[in-house]
Chain A
Amino acid sequence: MSNLRLINETTASSISTLNITDVFSEKFDIYKITITDFDLPTATYVNFRLINSSGSVVTASNYDRAGLQMNSDSSFGEGRSTNISYLNYLADVGTGVADTGGITSYIFNPYSSSSYTFSISQSSSVRTNHRSMKNIGVLKQTASMSGFQILNAGNYTFDSILVKTYGLRVDS
């Protein structure tokens, strides 16, 4: 039996943000998130925020990020920001369901109230041509997080979205 454990699978449509709540707990330190549908009506970036243990989306400017956008048709671009209000760009995606590829992220120590919450992510999608992204990010709050929010840079409505959350089990 593998140590990867499915915790939550959520599908939704016609929403601009998707909140996945009550998935982080004391049972796991590391979480894996896969997003295999993020269909948007307008080309934009898919972003990520955390939700604290009170159920509130963390919108404070306490996130730092750095990433590399790899374009199949043009030069690659570095992106870096400090003290912004979302964790990182997960993907750069065009319009239409076929353009939505895959995102895999790992979240470290979200439930800990003594550690920052860190993430790494990698994605593949199409925006006119192929785009790959590799990102790191951190929420600089020593507070317990219970979930996360998927949003997009243009605040457009997702036509559909599919998110799965897994825990990496460690036997004590």
Chain B
Amino acid sequence: MPFGYTGQNQPNQTVSNSGVFSITDVAELQSQGKLGGSLELIESQSVTSAFCDFTNLPSNYDVLMFQIKQMKVTTQTNVRLRISNDNGSSYISSGYQYALQRGYPSTFTELKSTSAGEILLGGDVGTNAVDNFNAYVYMYNANNSGKYTFFTLQSIWGLASASIYSLFTFGGGVLPTAEIHNAVRFGEGGFSALSGAEIKLYGVKQI
């Protein structure tokens, strides 16, 4: 059965289009996960001189994605995250593991730990106006009490004071405790409020 938008000339849809959605069409497409886009904006935050906290993480996604831009630090340092099992009343401060590759034009470095107080996202981030930290961070299975909560990430930022204008990390981390985690806190150093950040949280749709 074809579905459609009025005024559209058959764009690339997963189901063929011709006509106007009926209530039945909407119900059928929704049940297939094909109604609307599949990257669903959950929350946007812009903070100054504060941690950037996301609480009440939705329970209907296996995969969440944080889009970070303009993350700024108060002093040259690393940026990190912690997670919570009590919806942000407290954030877990031990037991994290991570493994990241960091690189910049002259040096590649392995960053790793099996007993960290946070998951490292990147560093050293500078305090110059052009040094802001930007990243995509995926979070997996946070809503599953039988699984650990995992992260993958890819980032880029600057350290202009050292004449380094692009550094990257990629890799991931885990809190190897099988329980539901329902909040995330982004901060700097070990572990304090950011100078600023703009972060969007998306859910990657599932049926």
Measuring CB to CB, which residues of chain A are less than 8 angstroms from any residue of chain B? 1-7, 9, 27-28, 34, 36-37, 68, 70-73, 75-76, 97-102, 104, 122-126, 129-132, 134, 162, 164, 166-167, 169-172
Contact = CB atoms under 8 A, between A and B. Distances in A.
Contacts of B34: 5-6
A120 B188 CA distance: 30
Interface residues of B, number: 45
A6 B38 contact: yes
Q: Which of A36, A99, A130, A166 is packed against the most chain B CB atoms within 10 Å?
A: A130
Given A71-B99, A72-B114, A123 B152 contact: yes
Q: 7 shortest A-B CB distances, which residue pairs?
A: A102-B140, A2-B37, A101-B150, A124-B172, A70-B99, A2-B39, A130-B97
A132 B172 contact: yes
Given A75-B110, A124-B151, A134-B171, A5 B14 contact: yes
A132 B99 contact: yes
A126 B98 contact: no
A20 to B, nearest CB: 14
B173 interface: yes
B114 A129 contact: yes
Contact of A34 (B11, B33, B204): B204
14 contacts: A5-B34, A6-B205, A28-B12, A36-B62, A70-B171, A76-B99, A97-B146, A101-B148, A104-B138, A122-B138, A124-B172, A132-B152, A132-B172, A164-B204
Contacts, number: 154
Contacts of A71: 99, 112
A27 B112 CA distance: 41
Counting chain B CB atoms within 10 Å of each CB, the highest count among A6, A71, A129, A171 belongs to A6
Q: Do most interface residues of chain A lie in helix, strand or loop, or is the interface mixed?
A: strand
Contacts of A167: 12, 14
Contacts of A36: 62-63, 140-141
A82 to B, nearest CB: 22
A70 B112 contact: yes
Contacts of B14: 5-7, 27, 167
Given A4-B204, A76-B99, A170 B148 contact: no
B174 interface: yes
B36 interface: yes
